[in-house]
Structure 1
Amino acid sequence: MADLDREIQLKEEEISERLKGMRDEALRRFEAINGPSSLHKFHAHIGRNNNTFVDSVRMQFQSSDDFIARWLDGLRVEVLQNREVIARRRRFGGMKRTVELIPEMLQDEFLRNYIYLFLERNFYRNFVGRVRAKPEECLWQLWFGPGNLSWGLFISPAHRLGEWTNDKSQMRREPYHYWTIGHVMETGLVVPDSEEPMTFGSVGNFLQFYETVLARVSNSEYEKQISKLYLDHVKQSAPPEGMPLLIPELRYGGKEAKHLYRLDFCVLNPYIMRMVGFEISPASSHMAIAGITSKTQVQLNESLATKWAKESDKRNRYFRDFGISVVTFADPELADIESCFTAIVSALEERPENIVTLGGAEAALQEAFDAIEL
């Protein structure tokens, strides 16, 4: 990671030097289009629309070229939406706006190169925010916990007008991996009726909170065993901050005390953007039917069908609305709880098979070429 950071820094410095050498001529050409101006105003026309022409909060960009291409496409949309205003200004005169200035500048090859370099530098200056996978908006805030005991995990929490929300301008800049223990350490957990998040001085303090509060509120011995295995697993991980949080009792309907469904456990893996829920489903609790001795076979079948329909609806809703697939541990699996946890570990530990950087790809290509025998 340190090598990648250094590579990005060098790339940004190289682009800055090139821009510095082009700056005077670029400003002269800009003034030929827009009249006397300043470097600050010139740059403002290029840089202040990064969140207008492209949705930097939600979009993930594959490269600087991808970022520039989408930026231009967003500008195209703005031009179409403002074509009447542009036509009126051309007929009657008036101050040119960015949506008209940029297309005019792009007709000048020198200015076009300058603009593209300026956007490329912006891409590298915000590299993490530009290339990181962006979660769906429904996952920007998560609420978990049973009954009235709910906690929130927000990507970039902000308390505004008496409500907790996300600071959208900050979300893409957050350095931590979403939904990990490091995420919790940076933002804390949101408490519904408090204006300050619950924070933890150390990973050890958070793990203690997980053990003494989050794990203990469950009435299921199976869930308590899995929580213990998770805590042991985290303590053996290096660094623990990178471990995805095993979220207990993820609520379908948010923070309200009365909510439709909860998932026993959930792993949102930010490294591969895979969302997996885990249901502890012994027949004694999930398929129990009251008054079974007084029911006919038809009534029993109807009751079982109703139970199963509710269980299916729960899984379908989590997948449809959150993209969360659900793994169910029934009685045969629960007989070996460590085997169940092994499946959870797979969701916690899964990482991309290969991360390719420009420098790494070039080195690997040269190595493969040099290894060819004559």
Structure 2
Amino acid sequence: MEETGWPSEASLNAVIGGKAAEFMDLHHEQILSAEAYVSLYMKGFKAAMAQRDATTHRENYGRLKKSKVAQKYFMLFLKRSYLKHFDEYSRKRPQLYESVIWIGQNKADYGLFITPVWRKGEWVNDRSEIRHFPKRYWTIGHVIETGLVVNGDPDPIMFNDIEAYLVFFKNTLVRASGSPYEREVANLYVDFVRASPEPEHVPLLIPEFRYGGKAAKHDFRLDFTIINPFTMERVGFELSPWSTHGYLAGLKGLTQAKINEMAKDNFEQEMKKHRSFFDKHGVYALIYTDQQLKNIPALFTEMQKYLTPVDKVAQLDFALLNAFFA
């Protein structure tokens, strides 16, 4: 305090800590170490000082620069700030445009948000709270925390527990599709969640992901989608039996050329769907045809590797750190 002129420790802390959100993009940046946090802060601090109206920033920098003790305090404060918020800063967060998903059939659609709030007659995310979200994104715990919403309705659909959501998932969300294959996959998923030692951490098996969002008229839906809660990578699963995705009816009297043209159009439309989902939503779709659909348990076994993702960010053992030299 003597060397820098700040009247109190609290005022110095406010100067350093209060600028973090200004100097860094804490909404989206994935920060994997205390050193990276300090580096980002310093880059932002330097950029802020370069602005024409940055007199206060330059004054603060000058006061820190003239004191070696203050510089050490500055570094320790930033590293400690990072460690206090390690879980928030180290995990990858979805971009704002990725933080809502609309699912379901036409006229039976639901929205899944991260931090849903009702504002001016519609559901939106509270952007400032996305990084503070207490659950892993796009998991069972996520939907229990937020529930689902209906476009135009201020009352969310909440679930008292995991079992309540699983029943809704199986008997409302998936049943509406009318596909026996999807029903069997849903049953296997429900059993998988129930048997999990940490069911809240299981990624959601998202049914009927709508390409066009909440729009009443939209082009495509994916049968199932899984989002990795650690990387935000999206994988779709399309169950494509020939009877619904390739079969051509009413061919009597048609030439072979006309039949080929119809088959080609059918194929082009199906491929357009998958390209569109990848281009707009970053979803890479795995397609399962009749051969794989003969054995749904084997198909679900392939899904399981996406339902058991591994966090590649090493978690800090704070108890060990605190007690190591005790």
TM-score between both structures, scaled by the size of structure 1:
0.79
Bigger share in strand: 2
- What's the counterpart of residue 369 of structure 1? none
- What's the counterpart of residue 51 of structure 1? 21
For 1:191-249, what per-residue CA distance to the aligned partner results, in whole angstroms no more than 9, with x for missing partners? 22222321111111111211221122111111111111111111111221111110000
| Alpha carbons 2:91, 2:230 under 8 Å: kept | no
Q: 1:357 to 1:121 in 2, by over 3 A?
A: closer
Bigger share in helix: 1
CA distance in 2, matches of 1:116, 1:191: 47
CA distance in 1, matches of 2:95, 2:172: 29
- What's the counterpart of residue 73 of structure 1? 43
CA distance in 2, matches of 1:200, 1:194: 17
- What's the counterpart of residue 172 of structure 2? 213
For 1:87-120, what per-residue CA distance to the aligned partner results, in whole angstroms no more than 9, with x for missing partners? xxxxxxxxx42x3234324423222221221111
Q: Report whether the alignment pairs 1:274 with 2:248.
A: no
* Gaps in structure 2 of 5+ consecutive residues: 322-326
CA distance in 2, matches of 1:329, 1:106: 62
* Gaps in structure 1 of 5+ consecutive residues: 1-26, 87-95, 363-374
Q: Report whether the alignment pairs 1:30 with 2:39.
A: no
Deviation of residue 335 (structure 1)? 1.1
CA distance in 2, matches of 1:298, 1:102: 77
How much is the aligned-residue C-alpha RMSD, in angstroms? 2.2
Give secondary structure in 2 for the equivalent of 1:196: strand
- What's the counterpart of residue 85 of structure 1? 53
- What's the counterpart of residue 240 of structure 1? 199
- What's the counterpart of residue 349 of structure 1? 308
139-148 vs 39-48, which moves further: 39-48
CA distance in 2, matches of 1:113, 1:340: 56
Deviation of residue 330 (structure 1)? 0.5
**Aligned partner letter, 1:29:** E
CA distance in 1, matches of 2:120, 2:78: 35
For 1:9-64, what per-residue CA distance to the aligned partner results, in whole angstroms no more than 9, with x for missing partners? xxxxxxxxxxxxxxxxxx33332xxxx74444332221122222111110110101
- What's the counterpart of residue 116 of structure 2? 157
**Aligned partner letter, 1:107:** K
Give secondary structure in 1 for the equivalent of 2:132: coil
**Aligned partner letter, 2:298:** S
| Higher radius of gyration, 1 or 2 | 1
Deviation of residue 157 (structure 1)? 1.3
CA distance in 1, matches of 2:319, 2:146: 33
| Alpha carbons 2:4, 2:64 under 8 Å: kept | no
Q: 1:43 to 1:347 in 2, by over 3 A?
A: same
CA distance in 1, matches of 2:139, 2:162: 11
**Aligned partner letter, 2:189:** Y
Deviation of residue 329 (structure 1)? 0.7
- What's the counterpart of residue 100 of structure 1? 58
For residues 1-374 of structure 1, what are the structure 2 equivalents within 5 Å?
27-31=1-5, 37-80=7-50, 82=51, 84-86=52-54, 96-97=55-56, 99-108=57-66, 109-352=68-311, 355=314, 357=316
**Aligned partner letter, 2:59:** L
**Aligned partner letter, 1:60:** Q
Deviation of residue 283 (structure 1)? 1.4
| Alpha carbons 1:138, 1:322 under 8 Å: kept | no
| Alpha carbons 1:105, 1:112 under 8 Å: kept | no
For 1:302-330, what per-residue CA distance to the aligned partner results, in whole angstroms no more than 9, with x for missing partners? 22222222222221222222222111111
Q: 1:129 to 1:101 in 2, by over 3 A?
A: farther
| Alpha carbons 1:46, 1:115 under 8 Å: kept | yes
Q: Identical aligned pairs, as a percentage?
A: 34
